[in-house]
Amino acid sequence: MAKVLFKRLAIIGVGLIGSSIARAVRKAGLAETILLADPDSRVRERAAALSLGDEVFADSGEAAANADIVIVCAPVGVCGAIAAEVGPGLKPGAILSDVGSVKGAIIRAMAPHVPAHAHFVPAHPIAGTEDSGPDAGFAELFEGRWTILAPSPDADPAAVAKLRALWEGIGAKVDVMTPEHHDLVFAIVSHVPHLIAYNIVGTAADLEDVTQSEVIKYSASGFRDFTRIAASDPTMWRDIFLNNRDAVLQMLGRFVEDLTALQRAIRWGEGDKLFELFTRTRAIRRDIIEQGQDTAAPDFGRRSAAPAADHQ
């Protein structure tokens, strides 16, 4: 069994990510006591029934009061309010972290509520599925996936190292970025692709000359992939786009420029340009597989269990 890193670990928000962290930490033996908090009574009841934690609270501040580490697993838009609840009660040396896929806005919202005697180390696990809720989590969710840490330049190195050890202890690979760089990178690799998926599925459903039943009945694998992404949690993604708007708009502007160039190539029959682009993008897919971030196994949308996808 791995070395215990924390006596008391508190998880605020028991959805897919929060429940998966609880399961993974329990499996790896990284905490003596796991404390859970969620404002939804149904979620609390289910978390207790699943024995995801040792104690389950309605009040975030109460769960965090004596914890050595507190991980906020909630939509980006409410992280500041949660930090205001838990911040005053954080004990000396406690670590406060999060799992949001936007870092700049979260830091601006949460950091002011962290007392000087505690440590704030923002994080972002790149893992998830389109499912949500405490039943959706599983201990293996983070294995082989990246988690990004985005500490401030003056962050306590020991606190950063301890949070890294927690994520590595549940199977993640860990990298460190500045918040600004993180938000730019994930605008293009995660946020804009989700925006495109939401848009294309909505467009297909609205087409007057193709009924929705035909869209569903004749879905090719490419469209099915878009619908999987577009099934992601609406609240979470609304908050992501509103809180990372500058980086998203910058990347979306570049995407629109490239799409216009592609449109022109198709209109004018420029097959060489199309072939060159498709060759380059195929090579990127192969690189992703070689780095272990996906599998090359064919499934044509028929796999019984969906693979782990980008959570935010």
Does residue 307 sit within a domain?
A: no
- Give pLDDT tens digits for 280-312: 888 877 776 777 666 666 554 455 444 444 445
Amino acid 306: pLDDT: 41
* 132 plus 201 within the same structural domain: no
Evaluate whether 64 touches 70 at the Cβ level (below 8 Å).
yes
Amino acid 211: pLDDT: 64
**% residues pLDDT > 70 (the chain):** 89
* 207 plus 273 within the same structural domain: yes
* 171 plus 286 within the same structural domain: no
18 phi/psi in degrees, rounded to 5: -60, -45
Q: What is the band of 266 on the pLDDT scale with cuts at 50, 70, 90? A: very high
DSSP summary character for residue 132: -
Query: Which domain covers residue 266, as residue numbers?
Result: 181-290
∠ Cα 27 145 15 (to 5°): 60
Mean pLDDT, range 112-134, rounded to an integer = 91
Beta-bridge mates of residue 215: none
Amino acid 287: pLDDT: 74
> Going by DSSP bridges, is the β-strand pair 95-98/6-12 parallel, antiparallel, or unpaired?
unpaired
- Residue 228's alpha-carbon distances to 200, 255, 308, in angstroms, are 12, 21, 11
* 254 plus 282 within the same structural domain: yes
- Give pLDDT tens digits for 156-185: 999 999 999 999 999 999 999 999 999 999
- Provide the CATH number for the domain around residue 275: 1.10.3660.10
Does residue 198 sit within a domain?
A: yes
* 124 plus 191 within the same structural domain: no
- Provide the CATH number for the domain around residue 126: 3.40.50.720
Mean pLDDT, range 188-217, rounded to an integer = 79
Amino acid 221: pLDDT: 67
* 153 plus 58 within the same structural domain: yes
- Give pLDDT tens digits for 204-234: 777 756 666 677 777 766 788 888 888 888 8
* Nearest C-alpha neighbor of 167 from the set 25, 34, 11: 25
* 152 plus 12 within the same structural domain: yes
Q: Domain count of the chain?
A: 2
Does residue 270 sit within a domain?
A: yes
